Structure 1
Amino acid sequence: MATGALVAVTALLAVGVQAGTGAAAAPHRNTPAPHAAPAAGALPAKLSPSQRAELLRTAHATTDATARRLQLGAQEKLAVKDVEQDADGTVHTRYERTYQGLPVLGGDLVVHTAKGGAVKGVTKATRGALKVASVTPKVAPAAAEAKAVSASRTLGAKKADAQTPRKVIWAADGTPVLAYETVVGGTQDDGTPNQLHVITDATTGKKLFQYQGIENGIGKSEYSGQVTLGSSGSAPSFTLTDTARGNHRTYNLNHGSSGTGSLFTNATDTWGDGTPSNPETAAVDAAYGAQETWDYYKNVHGRTGIRGDGVGAYSRVHYGNSYVNAFWDDSCFCMTYGDGQGNNKPLTALDVAGHEMSHGVTAATAGLEYSGESGGLNEATSDIFGTAVEFYANNPADPGDYLIGEKIDINGDGTPLRYMDKPSKDGASADYWSSDVGNLDVHYSSGVANHFFYLLSEGSGPKDIGGVHYDSPTYDNQPVPGIGRANAEKIWFKALTQYMNANTDYAGARTATLQAAADLFGQGSATYNTVADTWAAVNVGSRTTPGGGDSVFESTAKVAIPDRGAAITSPIAVSRGGQAPGALKVTVDISHAFRGDLVIDLLAPDGTAYRLKNASAWDSAADVKTTYTVNASAKAASGTWKLRVQDVYAGDAGTLNGWKLTF
């Protein structure tokens, strides 16, 4: 999927490195002390490209065995997309699925495997089994193509032309159906390339979904100082090729809108002069932003390159004429920047690159669809990591802040493009989740996650950070303390790469970040509870301490419940003194087509079982989403509590999506 988006700041004048070295001097960085140290075993291992390649090779070689292990159907196969490894040896392998040879959109899953090979859990985009009555379409491909072109023109695309529709299984809405995916090309109304993906039911012809493969915004940029660049060659032939960062190259489109362009070359290793009239100046910004983004992901998250394979993307500057935009395109694995109004304000800058390249990281991992709530999360992820790159670079000409596009003066009055501390200050973004937030443009629905990230990093209320005044409110008017930006970044990255998927919504993002916090800091830890409370502060879920006295301990790990098989258990470690309450609340979330098959028990740390639910042939409803109350006052609260679930009748398998204890 092609992705991209805009966030622009300032362009930069650069002086190259010593001739022939291609190495950039490392700038001084200020790293704040963490709020709490992450658990060492849960941190990502700093894998070399060869180590990652070996993990991928092993995963590719065992896809059939993994499919059997997960009890996938005979018509389903797995394809490896990405892999992450924690320092303790835990491997998180992301797969895409096929059904009878057709790609399954919304069928991606992540398998979490312990060092010894045991499966610790599975994160799935689709909970139900994949069953499609027929893979023979009743609607002709031409009809799907016509509907897709019509949808694209309705959105204002020009010169819309469609690729031949491909047959897929559409599983993102729950019940899998045979469908067509049609990609419509051409250009959008502002000159941006068009890659509208339209999903059409192959049986009824109904349009099911659409998303734009190239995502963008608007902005202008000025220049912000002198930097050191990675370059190659020797006098009189230097090139903007960064051999230290996957051979990232910077090209000049010279106001064209297709192709790669020409690689920037120079007789000396000094690039640009700080003015937009010099074509090299925009190239300096693009190259500098790319190298800082590469260094951030490698040094902070252990990811070498966007795909983790050590291969650099490339950048194209001077796209089109007076093009007030920038975008990431995954199909060319490249970033593209326009020159702004009148070709005088190139949209090349530090957090533009961080934002755009982060779209590439999202595409290589979770693949968040650029529509609805998942699109807002996609856009917010780029704002979050664009901000993180800006802080990481520690450039005094463009210091880190929680304002998006604060230097581009897009509004003509000096105000930023977006605000993370209170997104609604831009006049359109959402501060808090609501049932219609997914209907907003993704640049505005992103406000919920941007606000969450600011609150998680810095806490609520008024404060001054780096000379900027912030005042961040909460939905419930209760404060949240913040855990420090460094810890917030680690949680979001782990959640994105290991627990989110293409269809993750805001509720799913809460689950993913809580699981990441549990991995890094411990289930029920202060940091874990702050993550939960911060989501509540943007109206996603509830606080861990409602009324000021309760404590909530939660497991978000998904566990498959086999059909008429052995009982499964899910643990929760409780760190609370004293006795358990006489009204211990046990909240259970299980997906199952016939819940009457299920027997559910709560197991105290000493093994005592409390029956929550018996099996019953008369209980024919689906799913278990219930809170039970148990008198556990005879037991100590501290220790490992377990939920035990067994399917005792044949016919349907299920999934324990998660559960929690409220003391």
Structure 2
Amino acid sequence: MTPFYARHKRTTLAIATAVAAGALLSTGLTTGSAAAVTPAESTGKALAGAPVQLSAAARTSLIKEQQADATTTAREIGLGAKEKLVVKDVVRDADGTVHTRYERTYDGLPVLGGDLVVHESKSGATEGVSKATKATIKVASLTPKVTVAKAETQALSAAKAAGSDKTAADGARKVIWAGSGTPVLAYETIVGGFQDDGTPNQLHVITDAATGKKLYEYQGIENATGTGKSLYSGTVSLSTTLSGSTYNLTDATRGNHKTYNKSHGTSSSAGTLFTDADNVWGTGAASSSTADQTAAVDATYGAQVTWDFYKSTFGRSGIKNNGVGAYSRVHYGNQYVNAFWDDSCFCMTYGDGDGNTHPLTSLDVAGHEMSHGVTANTAGLNYSGESGGLNEATSDIFGTGVEFFANNSSDKGDYLIGEKIDINGDGTPLRYMDKPSKDGGSADSWSSSVGNLDVHYSSGVANHFFYLLSEGSGAKTINGVSYNSPTSNGSTVTGIGRDKALQIWYKALTTYFTSTTNYKSARTGTLSAASALYGSTSAEYKAVAAAWSAVNVS
């Protein structure tokens, strides 16, 4: 477990663990519920055709009523003797009109493309039908002429063409295909696995059971874009997943990352996946309630941006570079003032801070935690001594990269760590990269005793190196923040820019660092990286050497 900061700095912190009214069926409303209000015109008059919000009990009851009458309804709208209706959903309008959505079967087989909506007046009279197909469902034979194996082979070929590496289909079933043309007997085959960008795969392939011809294919994983009101980054877009009529915080576009609610628990379980009815998440304000979505918005947004940062900057697809997302847990513990990465669960965990109203879910913290996973799955830097300091610094370096990459006006990029979460209670950041000793514990430069410091303080040497390599020494202002970075040897260092500095550090981490890399060998590794990227006589190579010398690493 790699926590965000050294907990022993504050003695007041908790110790981390190892790792109503009845439904009115006549109206479908709950007495006194705000949901009973329907959309209104400027006059305040309710719109007759506006849907009312049914309570769960009312909706269930209405579905049962409509299903009980389904056979009669099928005959009334002219369906054949072999056709049956299955209720999928019901909507009731303010004027009493009921719209019932049905799936259809034919001789017991699902009819794909056979769905329809029946519209009934308040009195129960059918007023119209909206059909997916106007074709008559009639199939001469329900005996296929091609085998299931052939249909599955075809589906696998289609899935592989879309990037899936699955070697077997997840199953095939007989259906009636009515989605286009004349209805026919068909197979629906589903292939899972992952798509080429790491998104979960659920490819549905429809094959004509008489000819073997592929009739249709579609992707069953549906992505949605929600709106999140975060605490630290303003209003942001979130990639969510629609499951039935409910959205959840699953990002299928970024390796299926999920955000869970620990509800102040500390067990090793993931928790409960966040769900929402309208895909608008959070309030933008902190709350001690475990039902609060705002912390989840920040954590989800941070995971999204971190994934995009690694993909765009380094071509890395996820923490393990295998297209698979980690997951995040928020509302961990009671007033838990920390955040940590745990490689055993492949997850990030965030506490809610003092009073459970100061979640540690800011953008640079999220980037920091995910980057611990990258380190664990590349160099595997031991989490103690100098290698531990390099481990922590790597997360600070890439967390800073994430913050700049996001280009978020509510949380502009800077070389301050944790400046948004106010962990000190006085508005100061947790760490400073330009002069690490400003936090009262971190080292500005190397000495023989650096390895004896907590890893959150020995990290200062590498953080300072990275700042100098990126921006150079001396006084300057970046994005409205003033810096004044000293050097241990009195030298003047000219920076090469953050983008190049990031490339060098990432190359060193993934190619030259090992589990036991210390500061001396980190200098060697970053020089090797600079040489590989820019040449051994380049300005970049010389800047790496100068920046290390400036923090007393030779």
Say whether residues 1:5 and 2:18 are aligned partners. Answer: no
1:477 to 490, 493, 514: 490
Once the two structures are superposed, residues 532-574 of structure 1 have per-residue CA deviations (whole angstroms, 9 ceiling, x without a partner) of: 1110000011xxxxxxxxxxxxxxxxxxxxxxxxxxxxxxxxx
1:137 alignment counterpart: none
Q: 1:342 to 1:408 in 2, by over 3 A?
A: same
Say whether residues 1:250 and 2:263 are aligned partners. Answer: no
2:48 alignment counterpart: none
| Gap regions ≥5 residues in structure 1 | 8-49, 54-220, 542-663
1:316 alignment counterpart: 329
2:430 to 417, 421, 425: 417
CA distance in 2, matches of 1:432, 1:284: 37
CA distance in 1, matches of 2:310, 2:482: 28
CA distance in 1, matches of 2:369, 2:389: 15
SS of residue paired to 2:236: strand
Say whether residues 1:225 and 2:238 are aligned partners. Answer: no
CA distance in 1, matches of 2:536, 2:238: 43
SS of residue paired to 1:279: coil
1:269 alignment counterpart: 279
Shift of 1:236: 2.8
% same residue: 69
2:394 alignment counterpart: 381
Once the two structures are superposed, residues 196-234 of structure 1 have per-residue CA deviations (whole angstroms, 9 ceiling, x without a partner) of: xxxxxxxxxxxxxxxxxxxxxxxxx95331100010106
2:132 alignment counterpart: none
Once the two structures are superposed, residues 456-501 of structure 1 have per-residue CA deviations (whole angstroms, 9 ceiling, x without a partner) of: 0000111111111100011111101010000000000000000000
Q: TM-score, normalised by structure 2?
A: 0.58
2:457 to 416, 440, 444: 444
Calculate the aligned-residue CA RMSD, in Å. 2.1
CA distance in 2, matches of 1:327, 1:453: 23
1:605 alignment counterpart: none
Counting only pairs closer than 5 Å after superposition, residues 493-532 of structure 1 correspond to structure 2 as 493-532=506-545
User: Which AA in structure 1 matches 2:263?
Assistant: N
Q: How many residues align?
A: 333
User: Which AA in structure 2 matches 1:267?
Assistant: A
1:291 alignment counterpart: 304
Shift of 1:408: 2.2
1:260 alignment counterpart: 270
CA distance in 2, matches of 1:436, 1:324: 28
Say whether residues 1:453 and 2:463 are aligned partners. Answer: no
Answer whether contact 1:6 1:352 (CA < 8 A) is retained: no
Shift of 1:530: 1.0
Shift of 1:347: 1.3
Residues 276-285 or 337-346, more deviating: 276-285
Answer whether contact 1:52 1:309 (CA < 8 A) is retained: no
Q: TM-score, normalised by structure 1?
A: 0.49
Counting only pairs closer than 5 Å after superposition, residues 546-557 of structure 1 correspond to structure 2 as none
SS of residue paired to 2:380: coil
Counting only pairs closer than 5 Å after superposition, residues 358-437 of structure 1 correspond to structure 2 as 358-437=371-450
2:247 alignment counterpart: 238
| Gap regions ≥5 residues in structure 2 | 7-161, 166-229
User: Which AA in structure 2 matches 1:5?
Assistant: F
Q: 1:222 to 1:268 in 2, by over 3 A?
A: closer
Q: Which one has the largest radius of gyration?
A: 2
User: Which AA in structure 1 matches 2:286?
Assistant: P
User: Which AA in structure 2 matches 1:530?
Assistant: A
Answer whether contact 1:3 1:360 (CA < 8 A) is retained: no
Q: 1:224 to 1:526 in 2, by over 3 A?
A: closer
CA distance in 2, matches of 1:387, 1:254: 29
SS of residue paired to 2:335: coil
SS of residue paired to 1:232: strand
Q: 1:522 to 1:52 in 2, by over 3 A?
A: farther
User: Which AA in structure 2 matches 1:535?
Assistant: W
Answer whether contact 1:5 1:359 (CA < 8 A) is retained: no
2:360 alignment counterpart: 347
Answer whether contact 2:375 2:381 (CA < 8 A) is retained: yes
Once the two structures are superposed, residues 308-350 of structure 1 have per-residue CA deviations (whole angstroms, 9 ceiling, x without a partner) of: 0000000011111111111000000000111111111111121
Answer whether contact 2:302 2:362 (CA < 8 A) is retained: yes
Shift of 1:413: 2.2
Greater relative CO (CA pairs within 8 A, separation 6+): 1
Greater strand share, 1 or 2?
1
User: Which AA in structure 1 matches 2:273?
Assistant: L
